[in-house]
Structure 1
Amino acid sequence: MKDHDTADATLDPVLAPVLAAIDDQLDAATDRLLDLLRIPSISTDPAYKSDCDRAADWLVADLTALGFDARKHATPGHPMVVARSGGTDGPNILFYGHYDVQPVDPLHLWDRDPFDPAVEETAKGRVIRGRGASDDKGQLMTFLEACRAWKAIHGALPANITIFCEGEEESGSPSLIPFLQDNADLLRADIALICDTGLYGDDTPAIITQLRGLLGEEVTIHGPDKDLHSGMYGGLAVNPARVLARVIASLHDDTGRITVPGFYDGVPELSNELAAAWDDLKFDESAFLGAVGLRLPAGEQGRRPLEMIWSRPTCEVNGMTAGYTGDGFKTVLPAEARAKISFRLVGTQDPHAIRESFRAMVRDMIPADCRVEFHGHGASAAGQMTTTHPAFDQARRALSDEWPNAAAYVGCGGSIPIAAYFKQYLNMDAMLIGFGKDDDQIHSPNEKYDLSSFHKGTRSWARILHAMTR
């Protein structure tokens, strides 16, 4: 790791004191993050609606204290927070993050209360433990803390900065597109910055250039009008759980390819140039899988591991329920069976066309004595970022100055629809930079964010702002 004190002494006199302030205020910055993490802003559960509102209020107060004109905007769901600095001759920059978090279930697998966050000592160093530490409150606060240091040292920010915080990212962003359409003039900037991604390995910063899209479908198969005794009815009455199992088993062939008709329309092959660049990253699939208790690659046969998680589409079952699932045993035929299925999309795949094709395929498999019900959970296309905007090279060089290894342009297996929406609705390029790690356990019990990620992430944004405004 680079010696900050030694390296910073040779920096531009504008940047050096900002980095020093970030170092000096790390404890106070961490306390602010812990305060935000204590708010259980779970957007998917209506029981936490007031907590989402409270998280938005927390951000408005903090951004106001930083000198932003910060306001909470009501939506049909959870509020948006927009804060503007203004008043400089620098470029116009929009920063996006989200304050909502995933549910914490199963709670018994957490080693501490997920909303009683703390800094913990681990074998790999100090970490910030708690729901939202990495996704996305910790990442969001790296940028705010960089702005705080700039204001403390120079009295003003180096650019016209707008902060845009969403409260529904983890629940499909149902209010996002209407808000973008209604507030385009408020949000439009020269470029957008998004901090909701991660490093490549522990010491290589990454700028995401492509993201997979996401389509979510919930399928419920209804059979008898109540649960039935399996001795009295088994063999004669249809079992919705068995029907659902047959549907799920049919979604992939023996080579791992997805069987939904027309699914691969718009899926590009990996270019030789990109394949070579990704091969140079020396991805270790054995270590990647071994870290989560696995050892054998699955999925499409004949594909590179990075290709499968960055540039190939997927179909995955995220959850299934049917019949009695409590302790002990209850011999019933369930009245219904339910599954949540997600598709990660690439290239120009059309999520709406795939939804209709999937539903038609399932309907064709439903026996006459059953009926099927569908509930959609979002539909966003894949995102492809161009790197021709000068901010990309400026950020790449700034990140390389902060981290042990040079920054890399990489893909991302996850879905961050906001990047494509910024291009579609605001005609604005987005640059995705984050400091999470593969072992942060986002969406899982015991989520954490390395304190070094929080610290160096804040320093990285200060460097990027300096590079973009010189």
Structure 2
Amino acid sequence: MATLAPVLDSLDSNFDTSLDRLFDLLRIQSISTDPSFSAECRKAAEWLVADLTAIGFEASVRDTPGHPMVVAHHDGPAGSPHVLFYGHYDVQPVDPLNLWDRDPFDPAIDTDETGVKVIRARGSSDDKGQIMTFVEACRAYKAAHDQLPCRISILFEGEEESGSPSLKPFLEEYKQELKADFALVCDTGMWDRETPAISTGLRGLVGEELTIHAANRDLHSGSYGGAAANPIRVLAKIFADMHDETGRVTIPGFYDGVEETPTEILKSWENLGETAESMLSPIGLSQPSGEQGRSVLELVWARPTAEFNGITGGYTGPGFKTVIPAQASSKVSFRLVHKQDPQKIREAFHAFVEERLPADCRAEWGKEHGGSPAIQLSYDAPFLSKAQAALSDEWPKPAVMIAMGGSIPIVGDFQTYLGMESLLVGFGLSDDRIHSPNEKYDVESFRKGQRSWARILDALAK
């Protein structure tokens, strides 16, 4: 603790200055999906390089076919672990602008409806505020001890909000330079304002576009109804067959590789107090629709799904048009867990559909989406327990191990290209309005996030 105390003191005494730096970064309009903001994306990358260089990192802007990457390295004591910290400096578009209470690129301290002080700006939570918690922890270590507690590399991406098209080729090209003992990813959140969280599982994703074709043109339902195949009916029957009465997916082999979550982990999730009522009532629902006999947190964190994301076919405009359509289309997604194989799931779904097609119908498969496996960290990994203890020392309540229903592709890419696991720690909150107007980041998230990373780095170095 003697090593850590002056670092925490430095963070506290320089907090206002750290806010100024964050506000400088937030003013840069680094919207990656809109080509008209390309210069702003480069400006953000250059700003980060200059800031990291001022701390003592060897930092540079690395060009890609899209927006640039920021890569930085700093040595640590002999024998210390080597970590790679990842975040992204690009942000979502701000539309619709009229729903913002202020200029989204003019950051300010605001007070929300509950009286909590927040940083209001686009990118404040996703992900500029998050990445700067780590940078400030490094800055404080250098100010207190003139060195970092371990060897640190940094990778800041500029295309996360636009699909990361340059990321995989970049990791492949620079894998020897970027490989570390493990990665630190700060693009996640806390359980609540007082309870920090470590994400140990991410569901994978497979997406499919399917069109069922029948007759060679739309048909009059009076002239052909009862005689001609209706692709909407065919599609609806296929989808109805995909779940049984208990909510389980019926595609053969779908559950291959799905493991049961350890009992002690399920009990820890129960202690979080989330119920079907607390999760579903705010969205106007009351009953879970997944596999029976499982809690809502287990359903969204540790069980696979098959969901229908859209169906179109026939006439859907104003009034009425009595047709039997020539085709019906749909979009289907599967969330994967544990050791499910994305390609096998895709092939099994294709076979399931083909086996149920009437003789006069055919299936057309559109562009494949997703294809990423689930990520499941070992619950007894040493760096998890060290990080959990460090976070618990900083926040009012002990850190909890959670999972995430969605996907963070970079975590899988780090496993695939760099052969390393990731520690997922973030300080965002569910009400941060990321991707929406009036995005915010709690001032306390920014302050205690800095202190948390200082504690985690100290624990990992030991």
The two structures share one fold, judged by TM-score above 0.5: yes
Partner residue, 1:5: none
Structure 1 residue ranges without an equivalent (≥5):
1-10
Which amino acid in structure 2 is aligned with residue 129 of structure 1? R
2:401 is matched with which residue: 382, 405, 409?
Answer: 409
Q: 1:132 and 2:130 equivalent?
A: no
In the TM superposition, 1:60-209 aligns within 5 A as: 60-86=49-75, 88-89=77-78, 90-102=80-92, 111-112=101-102, 114-124=104-114, 125-209=116-200
Instruction: Give the superposition deviation at 1:163.
Output: 0.6
1:18 aligns with 7
Instruction: Indicate the SS of the match to 2:378.
Output: coil
Whole-angstrom CA distance in 1 between matches of 2:223 and 2:39: 46
- TM score, norm. by length of structure 2: 0.83
Q: Structure 2 CA distance, aligned partners of 1:148 and 1:230?
A: 72
8 A Cα contact 1:366 1:372, kept in partner: no
Residues 423, 371 of structure 1: alpha-carbon distance in 2 compared, 3 angstrom cutoff? closer
Distance 1:232 1:42 in 2: 52
Name which of structure 1's ranges 71-80 and 374-383 shifts more when overlaid on structure 2.
71-80
- Shift of residue 161 of structure 1? 0.8
Structure 1 residues 394 and 272: CA distance shift in structure 2, 3 A: closer
Does the CA-based 8 Å contact 2:75-2:151 persist in structure 1? Answer: yes
How many residues get paired? 457
Instruction: Name the SS for the 2:200 alignment partner.
Output: strand
Q: Deviations over 1:350-403 (max 9, x none)?
A: 112222333444566678677634222332111121255543332222111100
Structure 1 residues 88 and 40, CA gap change in structure 2 (3 angstroms) = same
Please state if 1:58 is matched with 2:47: yes
Counterpart of 1:62 in structure 2: which amino acid?
D
> Would the alpha carbon gap of residues 15 and 350 (structure 1) be closer, same or farther in structure 2, given more than 3 Å must change?
same
2:16 is matched with 27
Give, in angstroms, the shift of residue 36 of structure 1: 3.2
In the alignment, the residues of structure 2 paired with residue 224 and residue 111 of structure 1 have an alpha-carbon distance, to the nearest angstrom, of: 53
Q: 3-state DSSP class of the match of 1:93?
A: strand
In structure 1, distance between residues paired with 2:391 and 2:437: 30
CA-CA distance at 1:320 after TM superposition: 6.1
Q: Percent identity?
A: 56
- Any idea what the Cα deviations from partners look like across 1:131-172, whole Å, max 9, x if unmatched? 433232222221112112222333332222101122343444
Distance in 1 between the 2:17 and 2:316 partners? 46
Distance 2:242 2:32 in 1: 30
SS of the counterpart of 2:126? coil
Moved more, 294-303 or 201-210: 294-303
Which AA in structure 1 matches 2:343?
A: H
- Partners of 2:425 and 2:52 lie apart in 1 by 21
CA contact (8 A) 2:76 2:152 kept: no
State the match for 2:338 in structure 1. Answer: 347
Aligned residue in 1 for 2:440: 448
Q: CA deviation at 1:314?
A: 2.0
Structure of greater Rg: 2
TM-score w.r.t. the length of structure 1 is 0.81
Which runs of 5 or more residues in structure 2 are unaligned? Answer: none
In the TM superposition, 1:254-293 aligns within 5 A as 254-293=245-284
Do the aligned partners of residues 249 and 37 (structure 1) sit closer, same or farther apart at CA in structure 2, a change above 3 Å counting?
Answer: farther
Q: Which amino acid aligns with 1:267?
A: V
- Distance in structure 2 (CA, Å) of the matches to 1:446 and 1:223: 47
Aligned-pair RMSD on alpha carbons?
A: 3.8
Does the aligned pair in 1 maintain the 2:202–2:406 contact within 8 Å? yes
1:400 aligns with 2:392: yes
